[in-house]
Chains A and B, each alone.
Chain A
Amino acid sequence: MRHVIIGAGPCGVVAAETLRKQDPDSTIILIGNEPIPPYSRMAIPYFLMKDIDEAGTHLRSDDFYDTHNIQYLGHAVENVDTDLKVLTTDDGTEIPYDKLLIAAGSKPLLPPIEGADLPNVHNCWTIEDARQIAERSHSCLEVVLMGAGFIGCIILESLAKMGVNLTVIEMGDRMVPRMLDDKAGGLLEKWCIEKGVNIRTSTRVNSIKEEDDVMIVELDNGETIQACTVISATGVKPNTEFLKGSGIEVDHGIVVNTNMQTNVANVYAAGDVAQGKDFSTGNYEVQAIQPTATDHGRIAALNMAGHLVEHNGSVNMNVLDTLGLISHSFGLWMGVEGGDSVDIYNEEAYKYINLRFGADKEEDVLVGASTLGMTQHIGVIRGLIEGKTHLGVWKSRLMKDPTRLMEAYLSCTQELDNVV
């Protein structure tokens, strides 16, 4: 059996590893289009802050691929012929496959504004981007960051820690609008401002110009900011262009079923590039987060190796550390119609917890949560959501005091000799 994987990010690497475990004799070819060993985008912020060197971003030790008999090729795939079951890479090499996994990830979008394509407007998506930002920012004082979404906020942390004077422009009415509600987002903004970061929410960048090596960023509120680097974190899009003409169905991402299979036989897709099942909504969505990418990769590989394993859907979840303030969101953190919710909000202490319960038969089931300033045992939120655990009497206890989550979890999931 000849397994070929396009994309050597966390999804592709976990898939290769799983395939090797399942199928010791198969041929496994892992293809990535960056000229360095497979690495993790998530480690880029720590590389920028110099917490780790480049090798610290690598997904596996450099001998992993040899010792697991995984052939790693550093080339871009340009064409996929699903009739002949063969790929073509940018150097013209043809690579046949029996089973194909597309784990090509996503790529950053530049905002549709004048100057977005100037050389000093950087994405922060690849190691090469990070190298350029590091080089430019160490000799510079003013940096403008466009976008305070999830990825923007992660980069915010490393830029602020690099000691630059940072201004963040977000067009939404709060920070991380797709992960935090207005209370949590507002608190996070207050925190950032207190730490010396300039935040402009409900603000758009109108244009960017470069004059004498100075970037001039014009905002829609009439303000103009001068900076030496502009960093863009304004959204991503699945890498699917190279699939044109392949017959593989693409919507927002590559359309897959619960076996991570595409509409074309023997072709699977997983990770940021795939539109996989969301646990909470049952809809098929591009989640573009690390835990989903590795879950997808493993399940796709099991299916490729002949085990019919269903993906029950991934819980959408995020954790952010913004200059020491840690926030989380899980599942349907914005709530469901007819479902109860409870929160505790402490502005002075920068603490927030919001629990969301289901409706009707699931009225005592946790379906979503967001938190600020909590770090201990946070994973049980995923456990309770994914387990669809009926909380029984603990529902009303949590409605009185949502911080008793861990007691509720233990009572409902462990054998505690009838602790109710």
Chain B
Amino acid sequence: MQKSLHLDPAKCTGCLQCEMACSYEKLGEFNPSRSVIKVFTFHEEGRFAPYTCTQCDEAWCLRACPVDAITMDMSTGAKIVIDDKCVGCKVCTISCPFGTINYVQETGKVAKCDLCGGDPECAKACPTEAITYIDANATGYDRMKAFAEKSLPSANTSA
């Protein structure tokens, strides 16, 4: 059973432990600005929403890449950026309709969630279970993903 990240904004307190854990895992330092999971704040309502790549089936980023620098991790289903191949052209960043692959000026390459090889640090760091890593078909996350994807007409063509 493939697992996926389940993000539950209702449980998020905005503590940013996920961003800390993500950046520490990827960079070896606490640098939330480089985290590939982001917590968005809704000031008016005092609400928070953790957000990262849904590892969508369409994989717009992967398909748009001109140099085959994004591949699929067969064990987790994650779409992964191969740093050695990425030339930093940024075409994936405009192709991904979810905005979850971003250019990083410091490295000259793009970065996105890779599910930490199947053991996502953000989920482990979250104290309120706003981020969990669970069986794909059990997650409301799939609903969220479906909701986001149905808003896109071209998503209906994943034959």
- A interface residues (Cβ-Cβ under 8 A, vs B): 10, 14, 22, 40-43, 46, 51-52, 56-61, 290-291, 294-295, 298-299, 302, 307, 309-312, 317-319, 321, 324, 326, 328, 330, 375-383, 386-389, 406-407, 409-411, 413-417, 419-420
Complex contact B66–A40 (CB within 8 A): yes
Tell me whether A379 and B148 are in contact in the complex, defined as CB-CB below 8 angstroms, given that A59-B66, A419-B47 are known contacts. Answer: no
B interface SS class:
mixed
- B interface residues (Cβ-Cβ under 8 A, vs A): 9-10, 38, 40, 42, 45, 47, 49, 51, 60, 63-64, 66-68, 85, 87-91, 93-103, 105, 140, 143-144, 147-148, 151-154, 157, 159
Complex contact A321–B90 (CB within 8 A): yes
Complex contact A290–B97 (CB within 8 A): no
Top 3 A-B pairs ranked by shortest CB distance?
A383-B97, A377-B99, A387-B151
Interface contacts (Cβ under 8 Å), in number, total: 153
Residues of B close to A58: CB separation below 8 A: 67-68
Complex contact A387–B96 (CB within 8 A): no
Complex contact B154–A60 (CB within 8 A): no
Complex contact B87–A51 (CB within 8 A): yes
Tell me whether A298 and B102 are in contact in the complex, defined as CB-CB below 8 angstroms, given that A386-B154, A407-B42 are known contacts. Answer: no
Residues of B close to A312: CB separation below 8 A: 153-154
Residues of B close to A380: CB separation below 8 A: 97-99
Complex contact A310–B157 (CB within 8 A): yes
Complex contact A46–B87 (CB within 8 A): yes
Complex contact A56–B87 (CB within 8 A): yes
Complex contact A40–B67 (CB within 8 A): yes
When the two chains form the complex, which single residue of B97, B143, B159 contacts A386, counting CB atoms closer than 8 Å?
Answer: B97
Complex contact B45–A419 (CB within 8 A): yes
Complex contact A415–B147 (CB within 8 A): yes
Residues of B close to A318: CB separation below 8 A: 94
Residues of A close to B91: CB separation below 8 A: 42, 290-291, 319
Complex contact A10–B66 (CB within 8 A): yes
| Smallest Cβ-Cβ distance to B42: which chain A residue | A419
Question: When chains A and B are docked, how far (Å) is the Cα of A406 from the Cα of B50?
Answer: 12
Nearest CB in chain B: distance from A360 CB, A: 20
Given A52-B67, A57-B67, A379-B95, list of 11 further CB < 8 A pairs? A42-B91, A51-B87, A56-B85, A56-B87, A59-B68, A324-B105, A379-B96, A382-B96, A383-B148, A410-B51, A417-B9
